[in-house]
Chains A and B, each alone.
Chain A
Amino acid sequence: GENVEQHPSTLSVQEGDSAVIKCTYSDSASNYFPWYKQELGKGPQLIIDIRSNVGEKKDQRIAVTLNKTAKHFSLHITETQPEDSAVYFCASNSGNTPLVFGKGTRLSVIA
């Protein structure tokens, strides 16, 4: 089955700097790659996603890139703010299969 590895497990950045979180996946049939943000006491919230027919997608300060050949995708957050502090999860699936999540990255933005 699919296996998703996520790095780093923790990340601290200064406010205003950029943050990058990387994930690799194992199933070459995977074609959907979402990123979720989970704040304390809340469920995961979808922040951006990308499909396998696209190499990059951007939404304001957040962007996701996908390299299908290398089977990895990354989340980029620019101009980080304290409210970006949370745990971020990558996930992947193919067709109608359940999402497989990474183990998460705890991002701390230091003011």
Chain B
Amino acid sequence: DAGVTQSPTHLIKTRGQQVTLRCSPKSGHDTVSWYQQALGQGPQFIFQYYEEEERQRGNFPDRFSGHQFPNYSSELNVNALLLGDSALYLCASSPRLAAYNEQFFGPGTRLTVL
């Protein structure tokens, strides 16, 4: 079992650009959540996808959007990048909607905005 995989590992962008991050959930999981982890901070919930729809959302602006595909993989899109968007972006999968006590995290994508 490959667990949760994320790509790319690292990414460097400039202010104003757009970025897409990708996540493949653990085998048997159909729900994907995205978190932002700033340096020296704990993960902050961005949103959760289930059945290709956004089901729950944290306190993040509309610049952050996502998508889930029929194979349960997911993308996180961030538009109009700001310096403050620099962070580790974590994807977590779980076997059902809102199963936060059963989620597995991927290794993350390190985004640097210059």
Name A's B-contacting residues (CB within 8 A).
4, 6, 32, 34, 36, 41-45, 49, 89, 91, 93, 96-104
B105 touches A32 (CB 8 A): no
Partner of B44, one of A41, A43, A101: A101
Closest Cβ of chain A to B52, distance in Å, is: 19
Check B100 against A49 for contact (C-beta < 8 Å): no
Distance in angstroms between the alpha carbons of A100 and B40 in the assembled complex: 15
Smallest beta-carbon distance B63→chain A, Å: 19
Asked if A43 meets B108 with Cβ closer than 8 Å, knowing A101-B42, A102-B42, A104-B41, the reply is yes
**CA–CA, A96 and B40, complex, Å:** 27
CB distance from A64 to the nearest CB of B (A): 14
Which has the most chain B C-beta neighbours within 10 Å: A32, A91, A99?
A99
CA–CA, A96 to B92, complex, Å?
Answer: 15
A residues less than 8 Å from B98 (CB atoms): 96-97
- How far is B105's CA from A4's CA once the two chains are assembled, in angstroms? 20
Q: With A89-B43, A91-B42, A103-B40 as given contacts, are A43 and B100 in contact (CB-CB < 8 Å)?
A: no
Chain B 72-100: CB-based contact to A (< 8 A → 1; otherwise 0): 00000000000000000010100001101
Q: Is the CB of B48 closer than 8 A to any CB of chain A? A: yes
Interface string of B95-114 (1 = CB under 8 A from A): 00110110001111000000
The 9 closest A-B pairs by CB, nearest first: A101-B42, A43-B105, A96-B98, A98-B45, A44-B105, A89-B42, A99-B100, A43-B107, A43-B106
